[in-house]
Amino acid sequence: DEAALTGESFPVAKQTQAVEERAGVPERTCMTYFGTMATKGRAEGVVVATGMTTEVGVIAELLQSKDEPTPLQQRFNELSRYLVTVCIAVCACVVALGLSHGEPLYSMFLAGVSLAVAAIPEGLPAIVTIVLALGVQRIAKVKALVRRLPAVETLGSATVICSDKTGTLTCNQMTVTEVWAGGEGYRVTGYGLTPQGEFWLGAKRVEAQMVPDLCLALRSGAACTATRVLRGKQMAVLGDPTEAALIVAAEKAKLDATVSLVKEFPFDSQRMLMSVVVKDQSGKHQVFTKGAPDALFALCTEYREKGRSTKLTPAILATLRGLTFAGLVGMHDPPRPEVRATLKKCRMAGIRVIMVTGDHALTALAIAREIELVGKEARAVTGTELKAMSDDELADVVSRVNVFARVSPECKLRLVRTLRRLGDVVAMTGDGINDAPALKEADIGVSMGQCGTEVAREASALVLQDDNFATIVKAIEEGRGIYDNIRKFIRYLLSCNVGELLAVFVAMAVGLPLPLRPMQILWVNLVTDGLPAMALGVDSADKNVMLRQPRSPQEGVFSRGLARRILTRGGS
C-alpha cells in the first residue's frame, strides 16, 4: 500500500524485473519504500537507501524551506514604510518650521510627538487581527478550517488552484455506471454508496429486478465480502471499493445482495480474478467469478443472451473451464455533482484550475473532459515528461496545460515554484505525505480533513472538512470579501489620521496652539476610530465579488485610487 507516497488508493503488485530508470515512484514496481505497508505476500529485498535518502527522507528535506510572508504581510510592510517615511518628513518639517519662528525646543518636541501619533494608526494591528479572526469563523461555516491567520486574506488573492483529482474533484467512491447483460447495454444513474438510482435501456427506464439476465449479472458481481458502514453521517466501505460499488448496484435494482458465503478466493494479481462459492436458499452451491475481461473470457464456454445460454466462439476461448459469462460492468469514480458549476464560477472569477494527480494520464484526461476542465484536444503531461523539461520549457508548458498526471512530490513542488515565478498566487490541494512539500511551498496549502494525513495537515494553511473542491472556492470568495473589508477600514482609519495630521500641521504653520495633545490623539485613534473601523471589517461580501478578476499579486496597498480617496476625505 503506497497511498502515503503516491496517493494511489489500491495496493500495488511488486515484481523483480527492472523498470526504466526515469520511471516515477508509482511505476517502480521492483522497489518497495520506507513508510509503506505490505498488504499481502512475502519477499526479500536489497536495501538501497536509508534515512534522508529514502523517498520519505527526500520529502522531509523538501519541507525544510522557510515560510515566506503572505501577500497581506507584504502589503502591511509596504504600508509601514510609507507611514514611517511620511511621519519623519512631516515631523521634521514642522519642527524646523517652528524653530525658525522662534518657538521653544520643548514645544516643538511636543508638536513633533503629536504629529507622529497622528500619522500612525495605532488601532490598525489590533483591528486587522480581530477581522482576520472573525474571517476564520466565517470560513469555518463553509467547512474549511484556517490553520494560519494571514491565510484568510491570501485566499482572496488566489489566481491558480492546483487540485488533486480523487476525492476532491471526484467523489472518491467507485460507482457502477453501465452494465452489459443478456445482449443489452444498460445505463445506471446515481453515484456514491447510496443505493438510489435507476436502470435505463436507451431512453426507457427498466425495472431491473424484472430482467433475469440483468439480475444474474448484478447478483454475480455483488457476491463478495465488502460491506458498508455508517460513520457519522457518511457511508464508508470495509473492504474493496470496487466490490462495494457492485453491492450498491444490486441494491439499486432492489435485489438482496446478501449471500451465504461458503468459500472465497481473493483477487490475485497473477490470476486477475476473484471467486466465491455461495449457497442459495435451496441449498445449491454456485461459483461466481469476476475480474479482468481477458482473464475471465478465457474461462468461459457460454454467455447469457435473452434469457438463455449461448456457446462462445472458439476464437475467444483459451481454456475450457465451464463458466457462463453473465455480464460486463463499467464503473468509475464519478465527479462531484457541483464540480462543473464550481469550475464555471472559477472561470468567471478569473481563477485557473489545474489538475495535478498521481493517476494514469488517460484517467486524468477522461475526468478532466467530463467535468469540462479541458476540451477534447487537450493533452496531459506526465511526471516523467515534466522531469525531462528545463525550467523555461516547464514555464511554457504550465501556461498552456491544465492536466498533470503521474506526478512525484518533486514534480508537484516544481510546478508550484514555476507558477509562483510566473507571478501567480497558488492554492495547492493534497492529502498524502507526498503532497506536503508542495503544500508548504504554495501560497495557500489546502489539505483534506477526512482522508488526509497528519503530515499534509501540518504543512497546510487550510483544512477542508468535507474534502470538496467547491469548499475551496467558497473560502476564496470569503477571502476576497475579507480583503475588501480590510481596504475599507484602512481607508477610514488613514482618512481620520490625515485629518488629525493636517489640523496639527496647519495650526503649527500659522502659529496657533496645538489643537490636540498626544493623549487626545491616542484616544481618538484607539477608541473613537477603532469601533467604526471594526464594524467595516465585518461587512458582508459584495454579491459580485466572484465576477471580477483576481487582484494582481504586485498590487500595492494604495492601488485603485485608495491614496487619492484617503487624502481627499481626510482633507475635507
Phi, psi torsion values for 247, nearest 5 degrees = -65, -45
Note whether 356 and 162 are within 8 A (CB).
Answer: yes
Q: Which residues contact 128 (CB under 8 A, 6 or more apart)?
A: 76, 486
221: helix, coil or strand?
helix
- Helix then strand then coil, % of the chain, to nearest 5: 45, 20, 40
Q: Which three cell numbers stand for residue 438?
A: 508542495
Note whether 460 and 164 are within 8 A (CB).
Answer: no
Q: Which three cell numbers stand for residue 59?
A: 520529502
Which candidate, 324, 310, 104, places its Cα nearest to that of 220? 324
* Calpha distance 245→251 (Å, rounded): 10
Which candidate, 360, 358, 295, places its Cα nearest to that of 321? 295
Q: Which residues contact 387 (CB under 8 A, 6 or more apart)?
A: 22, 24, 408, 410, 411
446: helix, coil or strand?
strand
301: helix, coil or strand?
strand
* Calpha distance 466→177 (Å, rounded): 24
What is each CA distance from 277 to 226, 228, 254, 408, 456, in whole angstroms?
A: 15, 21, 22, 41, 42
Please, is 306 exposed, middle or buried when counting C-beta atoms within 10 Å of its C-beta (0-12, 13-18, 19+)? exposed
Residues designated catalytic: 164
Which DSSP symbol is given to 176?
A: E
Q: Which three cell numbers stand for residue 335?
A: 465527479
Instruction: Tally Cβ neighbours within 10 Å of residue 191.
Output: 23
User: In angstroms, how far is CA 80 from the centroid of its own chain?
Assistant: 34
Note whether 439 and 175 are within 8 A (CB).
Answer: no
